Structure 1
Amino acid sequence: MWLPMLIKRLNYTDMQKQGLKLTAEEIYSVNNSSLKDAIVQFGGFCTAEFISPEGLLLTNHHCGYGQIQSHSTPEHDYLTNGFWATSRDKELPNEGLFVDILVRMDDVTGKVLEGISNNTSDQERAQLVGQRMQAIAKEASNNGQYVSYVRDFFNGNEFYLFVYERFNDVRLVGTPPSSIGKYGGDTDNWMWPRHTGDFSMFRVYMSPDGKPAAYSDKNVPYKPKHHLPINIGNREPGDFSMVFGFPGRTKRFMTSHGLKLEVDQLNKSRIKLRNDKLNLWKEEMDKSDATRIKYASKYASTSNYYKYSIGQNEGIKRMRTIEGKIVDEDKFQNWANADATRKATYGNLLNDINEAYTNIEKYNLGTVYLNEAILGTESLMMAYRLMPLYSTLKSGDQAAAKKAVEDLKPRVDAFFKDYYMPADKKVFAALMKYYSQDIPKDQQPDAFKAMVKKFNGNFEKLADHVYSNSVVVTEQKLRDFLNNPTQKKLDNDPAYQIVSSIIDNYRNNIAPKLAESNAKLDKANRLYVAGLRQMNPDKVFYPDANSTLRLSYGSIQDYSPQDGVMYNYYTTLEGVMAKEDPTNEEFIVPAKLKELYNKKDYGQYANDKGELVVNFITNNDITGGNSGSPVINGKGELTGLAFDGNWEAMTGDLVYDPDYKRCINMDSRYILFIIDKYAGASNLISEMTIVKTDSPGVGDAAEASAAPATPQAELLDAAMQEANEKLRAGKTEFKIEKKQGKAKVKLQVKD
């Protein structure tokens, strides 16, 4: 997961050997158009890319799922039926959705660490680093024109500034039905082979003067500095492949002590809590379409990392990752002890790390259960959102209280739109029981223990009490409260009593103990990573992911998950049909798709064998946040859309597995086939740049597909190529005429 600005120095020669045909400046440049200008951070949690000169964005179906769900009703069920805007005025706005487009990144390590040494006290270092990071970011924001921040890398050994333009008018343009976009559902999640059409489309808008702006019907489509041509040629194993996106978080420098905590405590707890929540939600979702739609996005999000935690534990055990870390740590300790100066700096680090994790383990469940059980219960989350209002009521600041109420009102609208009390009540009873049983009693607040005792440990009765008396469980009660909020009402509200007592207890009694240990751990980890880099001066290290723009390069590859089994590198529409099960919502195939399959009506999107490729795999390094990232060939053309990783390599956040790691991608030909043949959205196809050349293999130049059979076709190809060049240059009105013998092609393009 390489920083694009460092590609020229660290990776370019290796990338060329593997099949890259671009220059380093064509990948990342501040002053000229480059690939980085086509990549955006989507909503702060996914990646998307421009695929037209008119601001058209491509990302995953699951990245746009919340927006698709928000526009869906039983009468207009876009989740089930899909949605396609046939004209710009039909594109749907999405309040709160934004994209960030990178302007530049800068190495500011020298500015942040100036005058700081190993002799600087931890407190002074933290204060200086924090102040400088904030000051650098503030200056780069140019009085709020840009979103800017400084992130630390290599556990606080390096620092980089990132400057973005943020656009807040992002509209839904198209999405296939969930039977395509989520084909395989939870059953196939994290699995290969896959047959999923995981994509959706949005458009970014700007003000008429080209600036970011809030939604307005006067806004115009954004004109990106670069958009990705879409390649529909053939691919082969070994073809160069890179993934450009915003991977979320990895912790690959974590020691064996941290890995043990992840496996034995954190993942096991998440699996248990999410399993019950998902099962209880599903019971209610199966009873009505209205509830299914309300909980569709929440269920998908919770399920995703529930399954991930299971796969991660299995992968760490299979790879013997902890045992491998111990070997590496022994080597580090021997290296540190071999020199007096090194021993003074690094000799006790592993002991410090072990001690910190031992203390963290005592209190860490409080953090997990706070996030998964307390704030993972919808009514308690809403009660938690009342805490700022409570503070203003307690202080008697009427102006602040009025503002807090106004801030809450839009949240109330959004909350109850996707809330079903019977489902939440069941979840509350189950998760509160786990909290009572699993958290040490001396870490539970007295108010919670008293409430449990009042109902003799019967959590169904506790749920009856809370959901009969709290203001947060029905829309009318909450609105009535907000019309006349008082401190006394919240003091007597059972949901508020539970969440406020647990939050206050966590802040006052658990968080300080964790903070002390985490500060010790942070310092030891920073020095440990510095020591690892010093111990291996010839190794090129990459930093952990931290939601900043990264590039991963590799190739298309198949793999063998176990003895006697070999997985091919691509799947086809044949596999979609083979999995069809009309009785299982995860494997329903739309009638129109079956019709196209039966006719083999694939058009120009079939491969040279006449197959319609659906998904393919590469060995690119990805993690959460990479969802929606473009898969790009050696010439800078989009060949696919990354949407998942494989089960055998769920250890990816903690350790990279070179033998098993695969990035699962939706093939660009299937994307265009769905838009064109299935949806008939020719208006979208017409604004894209589509090329048909075979992807360049390792060290091989790309070869053009078979020459057109007629002079007219040759002329049309030439005219289209010239038109695309003019469009990329920003021209929107022009005429092209080509003649050859008696054949003639005329092409007129207007904005």
Structure 2
Amino acid sequence: MKKALLFLSLVSAPALAGEGKWTPQQVLELNPAELKKQGLQVPPQRLWDPKRGTGLLAGTVNVGGCSGAFISELGLVITNHHCAFPIIQEHSTPERDLISQGFLARSREEELPGKGARIQVPRAFTDVTGQMLAAVPAGADDLARHKALERKEKELIAECEKRPATRCIVSRFEGGLRFTLIDSVELTDSRLVYAPPRSVGEYGGEVDNWMWPRHTGDFAILRAYVAPDGSAAPYNAQNVPYKAEFFFPLATQGVKPDDFVMVLGYPGTTFRALLADEMAERQARYYPRVIDVYGEIIRILEAAGEKDPAGKIAVASNLKGLHNRHKNAGGQIAGLKRGHIVDKQRAAEEAVVAWARTRPAFAGALEARTGLLALREEGAKSFEHDLLLDTLAFSAKSTALSTRLARLSRERVKPDLEREPEFMDRELPRLKDWLEREQKNFFAPADKQVLLSLVRRAQALGEGERITAIDRYFGPVYSEKETAAKIEALYAGTKVLDLAERQKMAGETEAQLRARQDPLLDLGFALAAEIAVLKEARDRRSGANLRLRPEWRRAFLAHAGKPVAPDANGSLRVTFAKVKGYAPRDGILYTPQTTLAGVLEKNTGATPYDVPEKVLRAAEAQRFGAWKDARLKDVPVNFLSDADTTGGNSGSPTVNGKGQLVGVNFDRVWENVANDFGYNPDVARNVNVDVRYVLWLLDQVEDADALLRELGVRKGPQAKESR
């Protein structure tokens, strides 16, 4: 493997407890003595071997945008219940509602396959900064810069993916200061093994979401399968369990306060490298609009679902995502204000400016900062139009499907390397899966109301921000009666919402699609044209960012004079932490663990605190089995640590210093939502399911004998050490 990406030499620097999402390569540069002092009991080289480009960290896998971990040699993966929700929903019907009832496969033959479910196992990390930057022609303008870098990224990925069952990405660090090619094995047959009932996996619902104390069993267990010869393959009854080289045995002793833990995973996006004005705009404009728009969609879906059992199942997955983003937005606003994060960033920024003014080598950083501020002002001019156009392209199933089909027909005629990334040949299997999977999420009465609300918003936009496609089809002035009638006609006259017809459309040319004279497709083409214009504007701004941001960040990092972990970008990271509580406000001190007693105390017998009967019986009878904590005198349910996490860390394995699984990360506390913008050690707490609660449910509630044997916690084959 080529020399891996290293941002700074950290050999003499101590590992930072809590703050920092470190790359696997950076872990090797941390002081081993400091890591050992904190509680790491395995050599850092066991975590990551640079020669092989793998290690124990590779037991952490990407599960469709969430994180997960191998917990047995035969491909068992633990992740969050909400991350496995699409598979649970896929196999649920009003007659067999696995969402509500839960599911346990008592044999491998009973395990349920998930359409489009993929698991990625990291294999190698290569620094490609030189190749990326060399691809930009001298004198390129901002749009040309973006296109040149995008083209080179595609070429590197295409070369990397010549091997079968390979998924590669190029990750950007510090705004384009460094680029890393990440190579993963992609497993395309994953099956549901166990999911607790929804009233366990989501205990507390949206009331408790982002809160503490928590009593939620947000976990599920999948299994990865491969062809008999060991190669990755789509679902086939003849496939066999994947043999994981690295996996995390379960630490049946669990954790206690002040224990050292590591959270491993694929954190999505953080914003700590933004300028203060960029942060302020998200606080004052973006998050309030998310609350407004998503809040209305949530109300529509909930009302429609309550009228129809099948509809309730259909909207369930979308509601989960919307609720999470909606509440997150509120937490971001509150956290940014509470932590004075914008003011702190402005002060840090001004210190760098003052420092750079005395150093001619960093004069470019000052110009870059001015340019970034100008870019922010430019993008703000079309904010309302852009946000609503994005929402039309994703939140209403009708326009999401028709727009995607229209764009696909236009992109497919281009050479593969000239297409938009989401329509390249490598993405077509995912697109096909999405076109099929969305049928399960479609509920016409709800979708019509969502589109009605979005059209109303579009028709209220000011001059210069209008969405032409909406004005052309629905008119420039909103009339609920007339708009609703046009939407009814739109749905009645289209074949896009028929799965079989939609699958045919996915293979048709633009001319063939237009010849159908389908009104929803016509609207999709009109929206696609506006999306193309918006994308070019965004690409130009992206090119400017790629020109300016690295210059600013170079000065920022030099001024810091100490290790600075890069913003999260969906790549594999590890954060070191301790199990600890916190004081959210004056006079309140939260302990770091909760127990079954708290589950029972919250139980009301009604959603969201409705303990399933079988769980209730075992808990009330105090059938704790081997999972009782001697200090707590009860079964631990959840625990806190001060790990540095964000979205994408859902399902992350939380492991002890021996590399054993002690929990599964699933949330942050309310006071820590704005951690995306800045780490505050006083309130930075992530929430984990305790492994003993997982085992208690499997043992005392489900009597999942075969599963417990495979996990090495019931008489039978012994668990193997982490390797």
- Would you call these one fold, judging by a TM-score over 0.5? yes
> Structure 2 CA distance, aligned partners of 1:251 and 1:32?
28
Q: Distance in 1 between matches of 2:464 and 2:320?
A: 35
The answer for unaligned runs of 5 or more in structure 2 is 1-20, 415-424
Cα deviation 1:516-539 (Å, max 9, x = unaligned): 344333322111111111223x30
Deviations 1:335-367 (A, max 9, x none): 111133432x22323221211101110113333
Residue 650 of structure 1 aligns to a residue in which SS?
Answer: helix
Give the alignment of 1:174-193 within 5 angstroms: 174-193=194-213
How many angstroms apart in 2 are the aligned matches of 1:102 and 1:393?
Answer: 30
Work out the CA distance in 1 between the residues paired with 2:455 and 2:398: 12
Give 3-state SS (helix, strand or coil) of 1:565's partner.
Answer: coil
Identity of aligned residues (%): 28
Question: Which position in structure 2 is the counterpart of 1:748?
Answer: none
Match 1:644 to one of 663, 667, 680? 667
What is the deviation of 1:476? 7.9
1:502 match: 527
Distance change (3 Å), C-alpha of 1:490 and 1:613: farther
Post-superposition Cα deviations, 1:616-650, rounded to whole Å, max 9, x if no partner, equal: 00001111111111100111111000000111011
Show the 5 A alignment for 1:477-492: none
Question: What SS class does the counterpart of residue 61 from structure 1 fall into?
Answer: coil
Q: Sort the Cα spacing of 1:593 and 1:446 in 2 relative to 1 into closer, same or farther, 3 A.
A: closer
Q: Alpha-carbon deviation of 1:474? A: 7.1
- Counterpart residue number, 2:14: none
Q: Is contact 2:115-2:433 (8 Å) kept?
A: no
Matched, 1:415 2:438: yes
Partners of 1:175 and 1:201 within 8 A in 2: yes
Query: Counterparts of 1:467 and 1:627 in 2: how far apart (Å)?
Result: 39
Is 1:432–1:459's contact at 8 Å kept on the other side of the alignment? Answer: no
1:493 Cα deviation after fit? 4.8
Inter-CA distance 54–327: structure 2 relative to 1 (3 Å threshold): same
Relative to 1, partners in 2 of residues 1:453 and 1:218: Cα closer, same or farther, differing over 3 Å?
closer
Contact 1:247 1:624 in 2 (8 A): yes
* C-alpha spacing 1:660/1:209, structure 2 compared with 1 (3 Å): same
Q: What is the 5 A alignment of 1:81-480? A: 81-113=101-133, 129-130=149-150, 132-343=152-363, 345-388=364-407, 413-437=436-460, 439-453=461-475, 456-470=477-491
* 1:679 partnered with 2:702: yes
Shift in CA distance, 571/97, structure 1 to aligned 2, threshold 3 Å: same
Give 1:144 deviation, angstroms: 3.9
Q: For the Cα contact (< 8 Å) 1:58–1:628, is it kept in 2?
A: yes
Structure 1 residue 599 and structure 2 residue 625: aligned? no
Cα displacement (A) at 1:579: 1.1
CA 1:112 to 1:412, structure 2 compared with 1: closer, same or farther past 3 Å? closer
The superposition leaves residues 147-183 of structure 1 with CA deviations (integer Å, 9 ceiling, x where unpaired) of 2232221211112221111111111111110010111
User: Is the CA contact 2:259–2:578 (under 8 Å) kept in the aligned structure 1?
Assistant: yes
What's the offset of the Cα at 1:441? 2.7
**Separation in structure 2 between the aligned mates of residue 406 and residue 193 of structure 1, nearest angstrom:** 41
Alignment match, 2:55: 34
C-alpha distance in structure 1 between counterparts of 2:226 and 2:541, whole Å: 47
SS in 2 for 1:468: helix
2:16 corresponds to: none
SS in 2 for 1:624: coil
CA distance in 1, matches of 2:191, 2:503: 32
Which amino acid is the alignment partner of residue 84 of structure 2?
A: G
Which whole-Å CA distance do the structure 2 matches of 1:323 and 1:124 have between them? 35
Matched with 1:527 is 551
The question of whether the paired residues in 1 share the 8 Å contact of 2:663 and 2:689 is answered with yes
Q: How far apart, CA to CA, are the structure 2 residues paired with 1:152 and 1:628?
A: 23
State the Cα deviation string for residues 285-343 of structure 1 (Å, max 9, x = none): 12232111111111101111111011001100111111111111211111111133432
Q: 1:127 to 1:418 in 2, by over 3 A?
A: closer
TM-score, normalising length from structure 1? Answer: 0.85
Q: 2: distance between equivalents of 1:409 and 1:517? A: 31
Q: Indicate the residue corresponding to 2:596 in structure 1.
A: 573
How many Å separate the matches in 2 of 1:302 and 1:564? 33
How has the CA–CA distance of structure 1 residues 53 and 416 changed in structure 2, closer, same or farther, with 3 Å as cutoff?
closer
Change (3 A) 1:531 1:180: same
Question: Structure 1 residues 473 and 11 mapped into 2: Cα distance closer, same or farther (>3 Å)?
Answer: farther
Distance 1:445 1:340, change over 3 A: same
CA distance in 2 between partners of 1:496 and 1:220 (Å): 42
Pairing partner for 1:65 from 49, 63, 85: 85
Q: Aligned residue for 2:7?
A: none
Secondary structure, aligned partner of 1:348: helix
Q: Distance in 2 between matches of 1:407 and 1:531?
A: 40
Equivalent residue for 1:701?
none
2:675 partner SS: coil
Q: Which amino acid aligns with 1:36?
A: L
The residue aligned with 2:648 is 625
Alignment coverage as a number of residue pairs = 686
Which is worse superposed, 556-565 or 527-536? 527-536
**How far apart in 2 are the matches of 1:408 and 1:134?**
18
Q: State the 1:450 CA deviation.
A: 4.4
The whole-number CA distance in structure 2 between the counterparts of 1:434 and 1:113 is 42
Q: Shift of the alpha carbon at 1:130? A: 4.4
1:590 matched to which residue of 2? 612
Shift of 1:141: 3.3
Q: Is the 8 A contact 1:258 1:357 kept in 2?
A: yes
Coordinate RMSD, CA, aligned = 3.2
Give the match's secondary structure for 2:676: coil
Is the Cα contact below 8 Å between 1:168 and 1:213 reproduced in 2? yes
Q: Show the counterpart of 1:713.
A: none
State how far apart, in whole Å, the 2-side matches of 1:158 and 1:32 are. 18
Deviation at 1:5, TM superposition (A): 2.0
Q: Is the 8 A contact 1:445 1:501 kept in 2?
A: no
Structure 2 CA distance for partners of 1:479 and 1:57, relative to 1, 3 Å: closer
Higher mean C-alpha displacement, 130-139 vs 68-77: 130-139
Q: Which residue of 2 aligns with 1:735?
A: none
Counterparts of 2:666 and 2:344 in 1: how far apart (Å)?
A: 29
Contact 1:364 1:514 in 2 (8 A): no
1:235-280: CA deviation from partner (whole Å, max 9, x where unpaired) = 3222101001111111211011111221122111111010000011
Q: Do the aligned partners of residues 393 and 203 (structure 1) sit closer, same or farther apart at CA in structure 2, a change above 3 Å counting? A: closer
TM-score (norm 2): 0.88
Query: Could you say if the C-alpha distance between residues 116 and 461 of structure 1 is closer, same or farther in structure 2, counting changes exceeding 3 Å?
Result: closer
Q: 1:129 to 1:430 in 2, by over 3 A?
A: closer
Report the alpha carbon displacement of residue 576 of structure 1 after superposing the two structures with TM: 0.9
